[in-house]
Amino acid sequence: MRTQVAIIGAGPSGLLLGQLLHKAGIDNIIVERQSGEYVLGRIRAGILEQVTTDLLREVGVGQRLDAEGTVHHSIELVFSGTRHAIDVHGLTGGKVVTAYGQTEMTRDLMEARSEVSLPTVYEARDVEVLDYDGEHPRVRYQKDGQTHEIECDFIAGCDGFHGVCRASVPKGAITEFEKVYPFGWLGVLADVPPVSPHAIVYANSERGFALCSMRSLTRSRYYVQCPLDDKVEDWSDQRFWDELRLRLDPEMASRVVTGSSIEKSIAPLRSFVAEPMRFGRMFLAGDAAHIVPPTGAKGLNLAASDVKYLSGAFIEYYKEKSPAGIDSYSERCLRRVWKAERFSWWLTSLMHRFPDTAGFGQKIQEAELDYLVNSESLSRSLAENYVGLPLNFGER
Ligand code: RFL
Ligand code: PHB
């Protein structure tokens, strides 16, 4: 088999890149380790920045997003038992975020891909990326008991944090920056109306962080900060709902509608960046190159902006015969990535209970939050980062 761009991974970054390249007439094949159903079963992100929703519309998959996504004009911060709205829309000159599940976005992209019969190999075993430091990269994998090979011009490593692409790079050629947080998030999905359908709620409390989000007007997604060694079995539904209420302001707590969980999982929190994001003819994008703690809702959105830059670079290479885009890809992405890393780290630090910051640390967080909600400049800084910095932010 031969293609122009071999994409490893059929998560949001791989699927979106495939669609952007297809629209530009560039051939691509996606090679994915899991089955399509497995990919769709992973419950993850829920908040899309305008850059991401614009991209989905650009590749022709905006219809269901526009019909079923819920636009949010503000976010709510809870601390010291009271709730404060931040008018994100007003503070950013009209920008918004949209609540639309990663699962739904993935489904839309998968359907668009199969409608035009673009090749996707699911359940590919032992994927290897070969010769990407030369002119003729290859991807090798096992499927149905046979070895297959794809010859290509470029490899796009869209295979997530545990993927094979970054892991294939020799240690001396890559620098990794990492911060692991001493807690996790316990997430619950339930078919109950969200307590706050028009704004995500971020709560700082002495008992730890809590977050109220949604997937639709009838499906809620809630999280509470928990110790890293907690097990899902430690958390009955009842214990979860009781704890969530204790971390919200009393008025909101009284309105939480409870029900049976349909998914419950614990995710660790991590900040991670690998530099550079290009190795010869292989390019990393999305979680393969960087991880943010979910507090700022940036992971999926960064994956989308990476592949926007990457598709632009490939288009420039094929249509204008210019390597300028692929040569500047890593530097361009990393500038944006580090700003999202900073924002996610800051919001995580502000909102969570840390083992060594009880007492004094709690008071400092409450003082900063009180300053934030009463200072237009700090509120605007939060808002402009939350909706996502423009793709050309800081570029001359
Ligand atoms: P993915 O989604 O991990 O997809 C990678 C794909 O590659 C496949 N793969 C391989 N394929 C072939 N060969 C191999 N050797 C392979 N190894 C792996 C995998 O099976 C998979 O299908 O990475 P991608 O596409 O870069 O997308 C990134 C996003 O999934 C991620 O950043 C977000 O989910 C993060 N995130 C959030 N992001 C937001 O923008 N807004 C949010 O509100 C938000 N909330 C969240 C989140 C992540 C969470 N968790 C569980 C980590 C909430 C949570 C709880
Ligand atoms: C989610 O809906 O899963 C979600 C929303 C906002 C975040 C993180 C996760 O900051």
Beta carbons of 28 and 118 less than 8 angstroms apart: yes
**pLDDT of 290:** 98
Beta carbons of 305 and 288 less than 8 angstroms apart: no
Strand order in the sheet with 5-8: 120-121, 28-31, 5-8, 154-157, 282-284, 278-279
φ/ψ (deg, to 5) at 304: -65, -40
Secondary structure (3-state) at 14? helix
Would you say the CB of residue 292 lies under 6 angstroms from ligand 2?
no
Q: How far is the CA of 213 from the centre of ligand 2 (A)?
A: 6
The closest-lying atom of ligand 1 relative to the alpha carbon of residue 165 is 15
For ligand 1, atom 22, the nearest C-alpha belongs to 11
Beta carbons of 246 and 254 less than 8 angstroms apart: no
**pLDDT of 43:** 79
Is 318 annotated as catalytic? no
Is 298 annotated as catalytic? yes
CATH class of 5-178+269-387: alpha beta
Assess whether the previous peptide bond of 276 is cis (omega < 30° from 0).
Answer: yes
Each residue's pLDDT, cut to its tens digit, for the chain (396 residues) gives 999 999 999 999 999 999 999 999 999 999 999 999 999 988 788 899 999 999 999 999 999 999 999 999 999 999 999 999 999 999 999 999 999 999 999 999 999 999 999 999 999 999 999 999 999 999 999 999 999 999 999 999 999 999 999 999 999 999 999 999 999 999 999 999 999 999 999 999 999 999 999 999 999 999 999 999 999 999 999 999 999 999 999 999 999 999 999 999 999 999 999 999 999 999 999 999 999 999 999 999 999 999 999 999 999 999 999 999 999 999 999 999 999 999 999 999 999 999 877 789 999 999 999 999 999 999 999 999 999 999 999 888
pTM above 0.85, yes or no: yes
Burial code (b: 16+ CB inside 10 Å, e: under 16) for 185-212 equals bbbbbbebbbbbeebbbbbbbeebbbbb
For ligand 2, atom 6, the nearest C-alpha belongs to 297
Look at the block and give the residue holding tokens 């869209």.
158
Length of the chain: 396
Beta carbons of 62 and 53 less than 8 angstroms apart: yes
Would you say the CB of residue 295 lies under 6 angstroms from ligand 2?
yes
**pLDDT of 143:** 97
Domain boundaries, the chain: 5-178+269-387
**pLDDT of 245:** 98
Would you say the CB of residue 297 lies under 6 angstroms from ligand 2?
yes
- Tell me the residue type at 364: I
- 10 Å CB burial of residue 49 (0-12, 13-18, 19+) is buried
**pLDDT of 378:** 98
Q: How far is the CA of 250 from the centre of ligand 1 (A)?
A: 34
Is 294 annotated as catalytic? yes
Q: How far is the CA of 307 from the centre of ligand 1 (A)?
A: 14
Q: Which is it for strands 5-8 and 154-157: parallel, antiparallel or unpaired? A: parallel
Read off the tokens for 29: 């094949």
**pLDDT of 396:** 80
The closest-lying atom of ligand 2 relative to the alpha carbon of residue 187 is 3
